[in-house]
Structures are given as C-alpha cells and as structure tokens.
Structure 1
Amino acid sequence: MRDYHISKHNSFYAVGLSYKKADAEVRGKFSLDVPAIDHILGKAKEIGIDGLLAISTCNRTELYGFAQHPYQLIKLLCDETHGTVEEFQEVAYVYKNHDAISHMFKVGTGLDSQILGDFEIISQIKQGFYRSKKQEMANPFLERLCNAVIQASKRIKNETEISSGATSVAFASVKYILDNVDDISNKNILLFGTGKIGRNTCENLVKHSNNSHITLINRTREKAEDIAGKFHLTVKDYGDLQTEIRKADILVVATGAQLPTVSKALIYPKKPLLVLDLSVPKNVSDDVKELDNVTLVHLDQLSQITDETLTKRKEYVPKAEAIIEKVKKDFLKWLETRKFAPVINALKDKLNTMKTEEIDFQTKKIEGFDQLQAEIISDRIIQKITKQFANHLKSNEVDTDDSLELIQKVFQLELHSK
C-alpha cells in the first residue's frame, strides 16, 4: 500500500508518545489542550497538510495525518508544547500507512490503553475528529477511518466483555485507598478538581467507601456543586484549599492544569496524609514527597494495579482483535476502491468518447442506422469492461499500483483531480 491517492501527500502517518515509554513528566510536556489542538490544525493547514487529527489524554498524545515526511507532524507537536524534538524522539513512535491505520484501531478500541479495555479514548477520537472537521482538516479518509474505529469500538463493547468489571484510573485510585487506609469511612477525604477522572473517582469513593466526609473543591465552584448535589457532599471555595488540605486524611488531585497546583507550601502535615495525583501533567509538586507524614502516589503507579478483573479481560483480546480485523478489512476495501476510482472513471470516459465517435461515424455511413439500439449495446459493453477491470483491481493476487499504471498507459488516460 504505497500511495493512498486521496491526498496530495503520499503517506498517512501516526506520530506520538504514550505511557509505554514516556513517564508522566514527559507526557506532561507534550500534552495538548483544546486551544493548542486548534492551533496545530491551523498551522498544519498553512503548511499544506490536508488531513490531520490530534488526540491528547493523560496516557498519550498523538497526531494522525498526511504529510510528505513524519517530521512535519513531529515539528508541529513540539512547536506547540513544552517538549523538544530530541525529548520526543527518545520516547516516540512513528507508524506509516497500513501500520498507522492499525495503530488507530488498537488505540480506539482500548487494546492499547494503560488499563486494558478502557474505552475513554474513543470519546477523545470523536472530539479530535470534531475539531479537525471544524478547522476543515478532516478529509474523507480521516472521516471514514474514524467512523470505522468507532464502529469497531462499539462492536467490541457489545460483543465481548473486555470492559467488564470496574477497572479504570478512578477505580484503581479508590482500590488503592481501600487497600491502604484503615477505617476509611471515618477519614476526611478532599477531592480537588472535578473533571472526568475527578467525577468518576468521586462516584467510586461514595459507592465503595461508605464515607460521608468527602469535600469537593474546584476552581469553578458551580461544577463542584453539580457533583456534590448528586451525592450530598460538601463544597468549599477554591480559596479554602489550604485550610481543607490541612484537615484532610486523603487528598485526591484531579485538575487539568498545565502546572502543579498543589505545592509543598500548601501542606502542613501534622498527621498522615495520603495524596493521589490523577493528573497529567502532574498537578502535585514532587517536593511534597519530602514531607515526613505524606505519601504521594501518581496515576502511573495506580495504573499498575492488576487484579483478577484485568486477567479476565485478557481472555477477550483475541475476539476483540478478530472484530478489528473484520472492520479494518472493510475500511481497506473502501480505500482500495478510492485508490482506483479515478482510473476506472477515466477509462469509462475514454470508452464513452470512443463510443460517441464510432456511433457518429456509423450514423453517417449506414442509412437507417439504429442509433438508440447502438447506444444501449455500447453502454452495456462499456459497463462490463469497466466492471472487469474493477474486479481485477480488487483482487488480492494483483499488484494494484502496477495494474493501474498499465491501464493508464494502454488507454492513454488523463486523470482529472477533483
């Protein structure tokens, strides 16, 4: 699959980094918020990249797009983030064409997630595609690919039990608390940050800890009040953060800030304090570890918690992979059709021109020539010839590129770019 013929650039690339080789600190340097993603899309358009999708989660940052060289995409990412090209190349991966397609399927279906079967990523792909479409950076290839990945994700969710059991970062954090803190129902828990992970953690805490001493703080108080209302919890103002930390036995930090929001100076630990940082980039300063009574645990450590749930999930991987292969095969079939459609259309045009010339000639030459009948027969023959060529090009046994070249040469075809 050398050339997709659906972009002015020849190759489709996936470039990125993930939890597999990059720790939280490095991932933090390359994380993208929505304005940064929009900025990358705008810059990509300026340099002539005509299809690009960006995703950034606590576990990965990736760009999928058409380029003459993957370095164009790497530079776009590094120019917009706090990381350097050198740092990126130490932990990065670059996939091309078929491998890039396969990678997106694996990512979007939770098979590449830090916690197997975690389907949070598919909503990131949907949002990423929405942003690309808004910036006019989503070509038909990306649209079809994203829809295929979403379809595979849905089927895996419905047809396997790979996401069964409560396993997620939020659940892992609560499991850690339950395993490591005695008398949990009487402890003061403070949750700082009410994004998606914060909300899920809160829900899991309420469900599993039987604790009513949970306080929520968020920069925007209304968001905290929305969640607190559901679970009858206490909300405090952002200005009360330091006071509330000093009262807490457990502090869960799940803010989406680009820089640490909890520093050593905020904490005055006269009693043991467990701090869980569920944010990327890290939102709790590393120097907090220096405090005697404080235990600091980051998301990456929590994600290593494996239990029987994950072991059970692994049993469903082959079935999930089979679903991916089926959906991917349909996508690649569509792609091949896109690839040879311009040649088949040009061939049809050429044969129609021959038909018109021949019918004109015969009309002048033969008296009483039945033009309508000749048109019907010719059209049917043209239809059969082009179908024969299309079937040949669809065959797995042929080299599509060589065949396309030969057809163009034999019929002296001129391809019209859309």
Structure 2
Amino acid sequence: MRDYHISKHNSFYAVGLSYKKADAEVRGKFSLDVPAIDHILGKAKEIGIDGLLAISTCNRTELYGFAQHPYQLIKLLCDETHGTVEEFQEVAYVYKNHDAISHMFKVGTGLDSQILGDFEIISQIKQGFYRAKKHDMANPFLERLCNSVIQASKRIKNETELSSGATSVAFASVKYILDNVTDISKKNILLFGTGKIGRNTCENLVKHSNNSHITLINRTREKAEDIAGKFQLNVKDYGDLQTEIRKADILVVATGAQLPTVSKALIYPKKPLLVLDLSVPKNVSDDVKELDNVTLVHLDQLSQITDETLAKRKEYVPKAEAIIEKVKKDFLKWLETRKFAPVINALKDKLNTMKTEEIDFQTKKIEGFDQMQAEIISDRIIQKITKQFANHLKSNEVDTDDSLELIQKVFQLELHSK
C-alpha cells in the first residue's frame, strides 16, 4: 500500500483512548463536553493546526487532525481535560495518515464500538464535524473523509444486518434489569438524566417492562416533560431527587455531568435499590457500593452482555469490511487526485498562456486569421494534453511524486495553491 502524504510538512493523525484499554474512570478524566471541544478547536487554530475534529462519547475520546507531531494534538487534549500526558500515554493509541483514515472508518461504522454494530458514534462524528466547520477547522480533506465515513455507515446499515436486533447500551441496561429484577411491572423506576442514552433507556423500559411507575428527573424540567409526554410518565423537579431516590427500587443515572451527581448521602438504604450508572465520567460515587441493600452496576459491566444478537452480528463483519474498503478506496483515489490537482491546474495555466501568446502573434502575422477557430482547436488540444497527464498520474505503475516533479521542471511551473 502506497503511503499517502497529506502535505509536505504535516501528517494526519488520530490520537485517543477507548474502552479497550481505558476504564470508565480514566475515560472520565479525558472526556470533553461541547465548550471544551470548542476551546480545543480555538486553541488549535491559534497554533496554526490546519483541520481538527474532536469526538467524545462514553466509550472514547479522540482527536483527528493535521500536525507535525502527534504530541501537538495530545497536548491540546490533556490541557483541556483532567488527565495528564503520562496517564494518556498509558492507555492511548496514535494512528498516522492511512492508518488514521482506516481507524475513523472502523469507529464510524460501529466495528470498533463497545457493543458491535452500535451506530450511535456516527452522530458524534457529524456533530464533531459541525463544530469543526463552525470554527473554520474543517478543511476539504476532513469534509470528504467524514462524508465518506457517513456514506460507509449508511451502506452497512442498509446492506447488512450488523445493527440488527436491539443491542445498545440502553438495551443492555434494560436487559440487565429484566434479568435481575422480579415483578418489574410493580417496581418504582427513577430515571435521572434525559440525554441520548437516558431517552433510549426510557423507551426500552416502557416497551419491555410494562411498567407505569417510571419517574423522570432532569436538571432542565422541560426536557424531561418532552420525553414523559410521549410515554405518559411522571416528572419531578431536580429538587425532589433525594425524595424520589428513597422511593425508588431501581435508579438509572444517565446525566452528562463532569462530576458525580449521586452521592452516598442521597441514598437511604432501608430497602433494596439497584443503581445503573450509564454515564462517563461516572455520575454515581463509588462509595455508594458500601451501602447495604444497594447494587451498583456501571455501563462497562453492562456492555459485556453478549447474547445471540451479538453472535449473529459477527457474521456480517466481513461484508461490512468489504463496504468500508470500497468507500475508502474511492476516498483515497480522490485524495491522490487532489494531490496532483495543483500541478495539473498550473500546467493548464501555462498552456493557456502559450496559446494566448501564439494566437496574438499569428493574428498580427497572418491576414484574415480566424481567431475564434484557433481558440476552439487550441482549447481542445490543451484539454486532451492535461487529460493525458492526469491519466498518467492516476496510474498505479508510476511514481506520482517523481512524475509531478518532472512535469514542474519541464514546464517550469509555479504552484499557487496548497
């Protein structure tokens, strides 16, 4: 495989950490909320980084961008989070150029998800790209790459059953409840936090538990009311959290807070309480485990639930990989074409200058010279010559860099674009 140089001085890197080597506590230290992502993009622009995308989910935090050295990106991440460079390096991965491109395809299509085929990540990539564009940090390379990953993701969803069956963190949490709690329809369930995982959990709970004793609490009451309205559920104020926890048999915490929001002091363990923490960073203090009658289960434990659905999904991985290869090949072809576009454009300019000079000369020299016909013929010849050069550069048999250098030398071209 040929090495794709993105530019002479900078390489394209993916730096990050995920559930594979970093537990929830470590991931929590490096998680980024929207203001933090905006701050990183602003700082990256200040130090002259051309193109940067940041994504942060409960399973991973990653930066994709151009740098002379990956440490520039690692430092941006560590300066904005609670983790140190040393902690990051213990669990991190760094991919460069072609490997970084391949990694984004794998992540964006659910092949690298904690639960295989969980496509939640693609909306994070879209959101990350939107933020990069807002800060003028989405160059044409990143735009084309993100669109290609989105295209591969759509095709895998439509052409395979990689995401068939209800398997996601939200479903895994409900499955855990159904498997471990008897008489679920009679239990009081409290859902604290109505982000994406919270909403999905709520929907799955209503669908599978046949339970009308579900209460929602969110810092912003309107958000909870929106969801509750769909399913005819109860909504309580954030100030009622402690009272409602004491009434609950099951507490599901899915907030996006950066620090724990449920502490030992909030819980009055006179009866059994099952607590599911679906947040990263953790939103339930570890010391809650010390309480009698309380069972605390975190997202990472839930994600290990494997059933027939997942076994079935694995069968579709080869087909998904074949789709990725096809879409990736098209992207790399575009990238290679983009690499020699400035030279082809400069060659076209040079030939057009020659044409203009020659037509001017012949108009003065030959009486009745048909300038319009000469223009038509010359333009067609220039088009054919540049097409020949472009086809030559696209060929797998040639060394593109050597050929580009030779064309520039022969025609004494001046390149104006990157």
TM-score (norm 2): 0.96
Shift of 1:4: 6.6
**In the aligned structure 1, how far is the partner of 2:288 from the partner of 2:361?**
90
When residues 345 and 4 of structure 1 are mapped into structure 2, their CA distance, relative to the original with a 3 A threshold, is farther
Whether the aligned pair in 2 keeps the contact of 1:45 and 1:137 (CA below 8 Å) is yes
Whether the aligned pair in 1 keeps the contact of 2:5 and 2:97 (CA below 8 Å) is no
Shift of 1:375: 3.5
Cα shift readout 1:170-224 (whole Å, capped 9, x = no counterpart): 1000100111111211111111111111111111111111112211111112221
Shift of 1:240: 1.7
Shift of 1:373: 4.0
Shift of 1:8: 7.6
Whether the aligned pair in 2 keeps the contact of 1:3 and 1:10 (CA below 8 Å) is no
- Consecutive unaligned residues in structure 2, runs of 5 or more: none
**In the aligned structure 1, how far is the partner of 2:124 from the partner of 2:92?**
20
Whether the aligned pair in 2 keeps the contact of 1:2 and 1:10 (CA below 8 Å) is no
Shift of 1:69: 1.2
Whether the aligned pair in 1 keeps the contact of 2:185 and 2:211 (CA below 8 Å) is yes
Shift of 1:413: 1.3
Shift of 1:308: 0.4
**In the aligned structure 1, how far is the partner of 2:357 from the partner of 2:238?**
81
How does 1:398-417 map onto structure 2 within 5 Å? 398-417=398-417
Cα shift readout 1:344-395 (whole Å, capped 9, x = no counterpart): 1111122222333344444555555554444333332222221111001111
**In the aligned structure 1, how far is the partner of 2:377 from the partner of 2:234?**
81
**In the aligned structure 1, how far is the partner of 2:367 from the partner of 2:251?**
96
**In the aligned structure 1, how far is the partner of 2:412 from the partner of 2:85?**
46
When residues 373 and 303 of structure 1 are mapped into structure 2, their CA distance, relative to the original with a 3 A threshold, is same
- Consecutive unaligned residues in structure 1, runs of 5 or more: none
Cα shift readout 1:55-86 (whole Å, capped 9, x = no counterpart): 11101111111111111111111100001111
Shift of 1:10: 2.6
Of 76-85 and 266-275, the range deviating more from structure 2: 266-275
Shift of 1:9: 4.7
Whether the aligned pair in 2 keeps the contact of 1:7 and 1:66 (CA below 8 Å) is no
Over the aligned positions, Cα root-mean-square deviation in angstroms equals 1.8
**In the aligned structure 1, how far is the partner of 2:253 from the partner of 2:9?**
44
Cα shift readout 1:261-283 (whole Å, capped 9, x = no counterpart): 11111112112211100000000
Cα shift readout 1:72-123 (whole Å, capped 9, x = no counterpart): 1111111000011111111111111111111111111111111111111111
Corresponding residue number in structure 1 for 2:185? 185
Cα shift readout 1:16-35 (whole Å, capped 9, x = no counterpart): 11111111001101111111
Whether the aligned pair in 2 keeps the contact of 1:4 and 1:11 (CA below 8 Å) is no
When residues 359 and 35 of structure 1 are mapped into structure 2, their CA distance, relative to the original with a 3 A threshold, is same
State yes or no: 1:228 paired with 2:225.
Answer: no
Shift of 1:50: 1.7
How does 1:17-416 map onto structure 2 within 5 Å? 17-366=17-366, 369-416=369-416
Shift of 1:314: 0.9
Q: Secondary structure at the match of 1:131?
A: helix
Percent pairwise identity = 97
When residues 367 and 229 of structure 1 are mapped into structure 2, their CA distance, relative to the original with a 3 A threshold, is closer
Count the aligned residue pairs: 418
When residues 228 and 376 of structure 1 are mapped into structure 2, their CA distance, relative to the original with a 3 A threshold, is closer
Whether the aligned pair in 2 keeps the contact of 1:4 and 1:10 (CA below 8 Å) is no
Of 26-35 and 181-190, the range deviating more from structure 2: 181-190
**In the aligned structure 1, how far is the partner of 2:8 from the partner of 2:56?**
26
Q: Secondary structure at the match of 2:296?
A: strand
**In the aligned structure 2, how far is the partner of 1:3 from the partner of 1:366?**
52
Of 42-51 and 402-411, the range deviating more from structure 2: 402-411
Shift of 1:152: 1.1
Shift of 1:6: 6.7
Shift of 1:13: 1.1
Whether the aligned pair in 2 keeps the contact of 1:129 and 1:143 (CA below 8 Å) is yes
TM-score (norm 1): 0.96
Whether the aligned pair in 2 keeps the contact of 1:5 and 1:338 (CA below 8 Å) is no
Shift of 1:7: 5.9
When residues 236 and 356 of structure 1 are mapped into structure 2, their CA distance, relative to the original with a 3 A threshold, is closer
**In the aligned structure 2, how far is the partner of 1:186 from the partner of 1:371?**
90
Whether the aligned pair in 1 keeps the contact of 2:57 and 2:124 (CA below 8 Å) is yes
When residues 7 and 137 of structure 1 are mapped into structure 2, their CA distance, relative to the original with a 3 A threshold, is farther
Whether the aligned pair in 2 keeps the contact of 1:3 and 1:11 (CA below 8 Å) is no
Whether the aligned pair in 1 keeps the contact of 2:13 and 2:94 (CA below 8 Å) is yes
Of 299-308 and 239-248, the range deviating more from structure 2: 239-248
**In the aligned structure 1, how far is the partner of 2:263 from the partner of 2:288?**
6
**In the aligned structure 2, how far is the partner of 1:7 from the partner of 1:312?**
42
Q: Secondary structure at the match of 2:94?
A: strand
**In the aligned structure 1, how far is the partner of 2:142 from the partner of 2:177?**
42
